[in-house]
Amino acid sequence: MRRKTIIVFALIIISFVDLFIVLFSDISIPVVERVTFYSTRERAYGMLFLTIFTFLSTDIIGLYAFSEKNYKKATALSFISIWTFMLTVQYFRVIFHEGLFEGLIQSITIWTIVIGIIWIPFDYIFSKKEIKRSNLEQQKSLEKRVTKSGNYFLVKIGDETIKVSKNELYNENHPKT
């Protein structure tokens, strides 16, 4: 695995850990601090930290999705980035509207289903596109190795050159070179 891939998987795992921390701990409860003698202010510092970290991991996952050459991986990573951005929005909702924590699980579930339903056609389209691209690359590599000589084709494999007829070259039952 490449280093970037390991970093992205770590960020995805950390985003899930952040979600479990938000759901199963009291980090969403704001801390009351005294501003003046007569007034107090509530701040959710832990929740704000998790929100900012989730937003930064969303950015990194999204940037890696744009640099990925494999369409299927890029689609999956971009939708994971969208999902973590949805988590960031939900966390901000909890921070700035204190009474909305009760609907957090329901909202995350609904948005996860919506994002999953949108992802399925994109995954299908990009998997077909990936197959076409790999077939085109395979055909180009075959064209680089094959030269025509009269009625036969010369196929270069490593240091050796093999003489092949046109029927043998394009026959599906014949082992591919």
Domain ranges for the chain: 3-140
Residues of the chain with pLDDT under 50: none
79-99 residue pLDDT tens: 888 988 988 888 888 777 765
Q: Considering only CA atoms, give the Rg of the chain.
A: 27
Q: If you average pLDDT over every residue of the chain, what do you get?
A: 80
Query: What is the structure's pLDDT at 174?
Result: 52
Query: What is the structure's pLDDT at 62?
Result: 87
Query: What is the structure's pLDDT at 35?
Result: 67
Q: What angle do CA 137, 9, 20 make, to 5 degrees?
A: 145
State pTM to two decimals.
0.65
Query: What is the structure's pLDDT at 8?
Result: 84
